Amino acid sequence: MSTPVDQLVQVLDQLRSPGGCPWDAQQTHESLARYLLEETYEALEAMDQGDLVSLREELGDLLLQVVFHARIAQEIEPDFSLDAIAQGVVDKLVRRHPHVFSDLVVTTNEELEANWAKIKETEKQRESVTDGVPSAMPALQLATQLIYRSRKLDADLGNPEMKEALRNIIGEVSQEQVAALLVATVELAREQDLDAESVLRAEMMRYRKRIRQVEGL
């Protein structure tokens, strides 16, 4: 007996096949990209609201996007299947949890995180700490990731003078003060006809270049 996931795969196959739906048949990874992002935001909103009914629906929409992209890729590479995707995730989880699936012993969360990072670094064989940080993510999230990664280099690549000046003005920083500072920054940008998202993204692209310069890349 087929599972609902099997049925979903079969439905997508029929929609993409001759005699199926012209719209579905015309879609590409590129044309569907915005829907993947929109469905992700809708799922996050359902989580924020604690609405499990909506969350189930939104996760279903996300699953549809996964199956849709897998189907498109399979038309190019026959071995690219939903089973192959799932197997890759299973292998990754087992490989990255040797303290569960092997005989590695860890006693603290710090040891867990350090071992996870070591395994991931071995798998990816990345030359820069910035590798694997998508430039397309929202600018504030991009800033958070790049600043976090840069700490591995023991180098302050931001604006220490500005940071110290703000600390002297604000004093002990609270969550509310950080939020107010971010809102004020966006307001200031608007007053100058600047888009805060674009401005921060451009700065983080320069920040990424500075990281790679420190790394000698």
SS3 per residue for 12-41:
HHHHHCCCCCHHHHHCCHHHHHHHHHHHHH
Query: Which residue among 46, 80, 114 closes a domain?
Result: 80
> Considering the domain boundaries, does residue 210 fall inside one?
yes
Amino acid at residue number 17:
S
CA distance 135 to 212: 15
The DSSP letter of residue 193 is T
Look at residue 149 in the predicted model and tell me its pLDDT. 86
Residue 183 has pLDDT above 90, yes or no: yes
> Considering the domain boundaries, does residue 19 fall inside one?
yes
> Considering the domain boundaries, does residue 96 fall inside one?
no
**14-64: pLDDT as tens digits:** 999 999 999 999 999 999 999 999 999 999 999 999 999 999 999 999 999
Mean pLDDT of 90-112: 90
Mean pLDDT of 66-80: 95
CA-nearest of 88, 69, 89 to 9 is: 69
Query: Which residue among 80, 110, 127 closes a domain?
Result: 80
Residue 126 has pLDDT above 80, yes or no: no
How many structural domains is the chain composed of?
2
Q: Which domain holds residue 28?
A: 4-80
**85-98: pLDDT as tens digits:** 999 999 999 999 99
Look at residue 168 in the predicted model and tell me its pLDDT. 80
Query: Which residue among 12, 46, 80 closes a domain?
Result: 80
For residues 122 and 69, the model is more confident at 69
Residue 62: which residues within 8 A CB-CB, separation 6 or more?
Answer: 36, 39, 40, 43
> Considering the domain boundaries, does residue 99 fall inside one?
no
Residue 21: which residues within 8 A CB-CB, separation 6 or more?
Answer: 15
Percent of the chain topping pLDDT 70: 100
Instruction: Give how far Cα 54 sits from Cα of 4, 25, 43, 209, Å.
Output: 19, 28, 8, 41
